[in-house]
């Protein structure tokens, strides 16, 4: 529950990427939105032309922002935001191609603009120029903005020698029905927030910032359950109704960083990728009409887990280890040999692991009456060949779930480490 009066602002240090409570300072002045009570309850103070707009203190009795709106992720840090944070309620994925004639200089200026915008918006402040006021009454709402580079970016900017080998194109898979127009791209931006208007505001501002330097190649919109919508924290469900992400690597695990982030030393990746990660992005359409014709029992056999609580069919709770050898009274494996959860397990793929951080999507009803809906799959790993590619190849050879999904778009992006104070994202690549 929110406090009944506005708190005194103080500085709070938090690990990179973690949300900061409503009492925190963004580091560059007080956020105009975190000082806002109810809309219209404050006095407007005009700043310099084109600059940020501030608000006077709310009168006694004004209702402060809820905790959901006040939560704030940090822009500066060891890693970029939007990787280890919890799932956000709204998301936008957008890829850009550099404009004809734009090169390294224009790309550097663009990443500098984008980084400034990301820092301001994530702190709950207005855009530096021509803010649209879409998110005027909201707090940061856990907004994160993440930037990455596609394979083609390096030839466009004359930086071929700095292109990581891990950015080699993904192989073809049998479940692919890829639309090239909605795949890949020179630059990739991931936006997530717990408020739809805050997320849209960020998307619109990033697009405007691109100016003449880059144009949108493709853009996708997603959603998840809003934090706090359940009585206690639960693993998210996808549009098939299944818990999704039960075996995700956890930051507390000793080998988490090794699996998810490029090390600062001892890596074959170029130095500018230190503390970065690789994002595989896939638009996976779920054939929901076919899926929903199955009984719950049949759906559970496809996945290998209970639909109600995510527990393995071999017994226990959601986090109980799956017994791959357990059989029923007839001698049949309790977890079918082609069950998705069995095939995708790290211990069935040489330890391959990736941090899945997806959004669901629904883009209306197709001409044949079927829903155009599914998963905007985003996974993070230190090495996509050992992460996504290893697992997807295994799934390609007999995953029961493949009958009910179709991969329709794909991208692979190198996401550099976080920007230090005074830096912009990608500066070590573009100015190194």
- pLDDT value, residue 46: 31
Q: How many Å apart are CA 67 and CA 85, to the nearest integer?
A: 16
Q: Where are the beta strands (DSSP E) in 261-420?
A: 277-286, 355-356, 359-365, 371-381, 405-415
Residue 168 is among the residues annotated as catalytic for this protein: no
Q: How many Å apart are CA 405 and CA 62, to the nearest integer?
A: 49
Helix or strand or coil: residue 44? Answer: strand
* Sign of the C-alpha dihedral computed for residues 209, 418, 350 and 163 taken in this order: positive
What would the 3-class secondary structure string for 274-294 be? CCCEEEEEEEEEECHHHHCCC
Among candidate residues 430, 50, 418, the one with its CA nearest the CA of residue 213: 430
- pLDDT value, residue 343: 95
Q: How many Å apart are CA 379 and CA 385, to the nearest integer?
A: 12
Helix or strand or coil: residue 389? Answer: helix
Looking at residue 152, what DSSP letter applies? Answer: H
- pLDDT value, residue 64: 58
Q: How many helical (H) and strand (E) elements, i.e. helices and strands, does the chain have?
A: 10, 11
212: left (phi over 0), alpha (psi -120 to 50) or beta: alpha
C-alpha distances out from residue 287 to 80, 200, 222, 293, 300, Å: 34, 28, 17, 10, 16
Catalytic residue from among 131, 186, 195, 244: 244
Q: Would you state the torsion angle of the CA atoms of residues 128, 134, 139, 145, taken in this order, to the nearest 10 degrees?
A: -60
What is the Cα gyration radius of the chain? 22
Q: How many Å apart are CA 235 and CA 308, to the nearest integer?
A: 12
Residues in a beta bridge with 90: 193, 223
Kind and range of the H or E element at 197? helix 196-210
Q: Would you state the torsion angle of the CA atoms of residues 245, 248, 250, 253, taken in this order, to the nearest 10 degrees?
A: 150
Length in residues, the chain: 432
Q: What is the pLDDT along the chain (432 residues), one digit of tens a residue?
A: 434 333 333 333 444 444 554 434 333 334 444 433 333 333 323 333 333 333 334 445 555 556 889 999 999 999 999 999 999 999 999 999 999 999 999 999 999 999 999 999 999 999 999 999 999 999 999 999 999 999 999 999 999 999 999 999 999 998 899 999 999 999 999 999 999 999 999 999 999 999 999 999 999 999 999 998 988 889 999 999 999 999 999 999 999 999 999 999 988 999 999 999 999 999 999 999 999 999 999 999 999 999 999 999 999 999 999 999 999 999 999 999 999 999 999 888 888 889 999 999 999 999 999 999 999 999 999 999 999 999 999 999 999 999 999 999 999 999 999 999 999 999 999 998
Kind and range of the H or E element at 392? helix 390-396
Is the CB of residue 50 less than 8 Å from the CB of residue 160?
no
pTM: 0.86
């Amino acid at each position: 529950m929110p406090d009944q009066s506005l708190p005194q602002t103080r500085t709070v240090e938090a690990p990179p990427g973690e949300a900061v409570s409503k009492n925190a300072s963004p580091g560059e002045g007080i956020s105009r939105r975190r000082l806002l009570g109810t809309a219209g309850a404050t006095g407007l103070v005009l700043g310099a032309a084109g600059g940020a707009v501030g608000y006077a203190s709310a009168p006694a009795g004004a209702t402060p922002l809820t905790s959901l709106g006040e939560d704030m992720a940090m822009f500066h840090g060891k890693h970029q935001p939007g990787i280890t944070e919890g799932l956000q309620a709204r998301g936008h994925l957008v890829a850009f191609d550099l404009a004809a004639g734009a090169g390294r200089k224009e790309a550097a200026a663009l990443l500098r603009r984008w980084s400034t915008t990301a820092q301001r918006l994530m702190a709950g402040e207005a855009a530096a120029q021509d803010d649209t006021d879409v998110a005027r009454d909201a707090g940061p709402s856990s907004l994160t903005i993440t930037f990455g580079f596609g394979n083609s970016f390096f030839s466009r900017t004359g930086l071929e020698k700095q292109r990581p080998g891990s950015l080699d194109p993904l192989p073809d898979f049998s479940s692919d029905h890829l639309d090239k127009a909605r795949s890949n791209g020179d630059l990739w931006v991931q936006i997530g927030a717990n408020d739809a208007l805050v997320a849209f505001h960020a998307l619109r501002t990033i697009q405007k910032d691109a100016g003449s330097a880059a144009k949108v190649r493709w853009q996708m919109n997603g959603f998840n359950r809003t934090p706090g919508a359940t009585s206690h924290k639960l693993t998210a469900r996808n549009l098939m109704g299944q818990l999704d992400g039960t075996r995700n690597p956890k930051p507390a695990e000793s080998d988490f960083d090794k699996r998810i982030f490029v090390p600062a030393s001892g890596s074959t990746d170029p130095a500018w990728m230190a503390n970065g990660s690789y994002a595989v992005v896939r638009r996976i359409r779920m054939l929901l009409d076919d899926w929903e014709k199955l009984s719950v029992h049949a759906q559970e056999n496809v996945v290998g887990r209970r639909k109600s609580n995510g527990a393995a069919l071999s017994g226990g709770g959601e986090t109980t280890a799956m017994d791959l050898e357990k059989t029923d009274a007839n001698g049949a494996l309790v977890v079918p040999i082609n069950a998705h959860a069995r095939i995708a397990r790290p211990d069935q793929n040489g330890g391959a692991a990736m941090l899945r951080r997806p959004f669901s999507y629904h883009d209306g009803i197709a001409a044949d009456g079927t829903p155009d809906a599914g998963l905007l799959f985003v996974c993070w790993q230190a090495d996509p060949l050992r992460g996504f590619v290893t697992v997807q190849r295994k799934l390609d050879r007999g995953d029961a779930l493949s009958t009910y999904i179709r991969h329709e778009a794909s991208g692979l992006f190198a996401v550099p480490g976080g920007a230090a104070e005074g830096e912009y994202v990608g500066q070590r690549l573009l100015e190194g």
